[in-house]
Amino acid sequence: MDERFNFRPARAADVAAVVSLLHDDELGRHRERPGDPAYDTAFAEIASDPNQLLVVAELDGEIVGTLQLSFIAGLSHVGTKRAQLEAVRVGSEYRGLGIGGRMCEWAISVARERGAGQVQLTSDSGRTAAHRFYERLGFSATHVGMKLSLD
Amino acid sequence: MDERFNFRPARAADVAAVVSLLHDDELGRHRERPGDPAYDTAFAEIASDPNQLLVVAELDGEIVGTLQLSFIAGLSHVGTKRAQLEAVRVGSEYRGLGIGGRMCEWAISVARERGAGQVQLTSDSGRTAAHRFYERLGFSATHVGMKLSLD
């Protein structure tokens, strides 16, 4: 499927399609509100930050997946730059085709090119299939991911 | 101890003191190399990024703690901005005085002021005392933190 497949930075016109992917998810369907203008505001902020890369995966020109890659400079580990994966999603009708793996492998190669020494992510404790997926990509579940909502 | 205590952004001249705090740690002593010029390069990158805030805590004018706060715009959770805590450390001779808690509470208030809807962090699975510390601050251990080294 190589020639049918493409990764590229998301554009403002892709926001609705990306939000649709975030909503098309067992957890996302309860916490996303497609059509809310807050998504466009957030997109503008992502697009203006050179350390944020919001990506869409296209199959035959249709958006079928998304992820965000954030670059975080830091002093620890002898000044290692981290690349962080967030919001990795593949449309429900396109799962099981290897799109998520291809998308993450591409993101890891971008992280390496941009000088990151580590890629990190957190995954909800209930997403056990996702944990196995990331372990197959080489990730180790060495940390606890903790969240505090400010709402 | 209120008047004796101060939080402020780290300056280039503080890099050695911050690295010393990162090294003064059960895991850090094996992975940090105080004096390596890579720390100065990384500091310059942090200081030039308005979404990174490297903080030092001073007690009577001496640096006794550090943390880094990273702001990450994103589409998920209806465009919620995340604030991420990294590299939270208090010097070994100053632990148990409540400095870490005060420093994190301050960071959480900064996150809120800057419009973050969530604060997140990962902590090494072996740091069980740290997990209890963050739970007392209101964090929930809802996620698995996964890492992939690119070295």
pLDDT digits (tens, 9 = 90+) for A19-47: 999 999 888 999 999 999 999 999 999 99
DSSP string, A134-149: HHHTT-EEEEEEEEEE
User: Is residue B134 within 8 angstroms of chain A, CB to CB?
Assistant: yes
In this predicted model, what pLDDT tens digit does every residue of B65-90 receive, in sequence order? 999 999 999 999 999 999 999 999 99
Q: Which CATH class is domain B5-136?
A: alpha beta
Examine the pLDDT at A1 and tell me if it is beyond 60.
no
Domain boundaries, chain A: 5-136
Give the one of B38, B125, B150 whose C-beta lies nearest to A112's C-beta: B150
**Residue B28 touches partner A, C-beta closer than 8 Å:** yes
Provide the b/e sequence for B25-59 (b: ≥16 CB within 10 Å).
beebeeebeeeeeebeebbebbbebebbbbbbbbb
Element (H, E) at B59: strand B52-59
Looking at the complex, does the CB of residue A15 fall below 8 Å from at least one CB of chain B?
Answer: yes
Contact call for residues A38 and B78 (beta carbons, < 8 A): yes
Is A54 within 8 Å of chain B by CB?
A: yes
Lateral strand order in the sheet of A140-149 = A5-9, A52-59, A62-72, A81-90, A116-124, B140-149, A140-149, B116-124, B81-90, B62-72, B52-59, B5-9
Return residues 73-92 of A near B (CB < 8 Å): 73-82, 84, 86-87
CB–CB contact B22 A75 (8 Å):
yes
Nearest to B72 by CA among A125, A87, A10: A87
Q: What pTM did the predictor assign?
A: 0.95
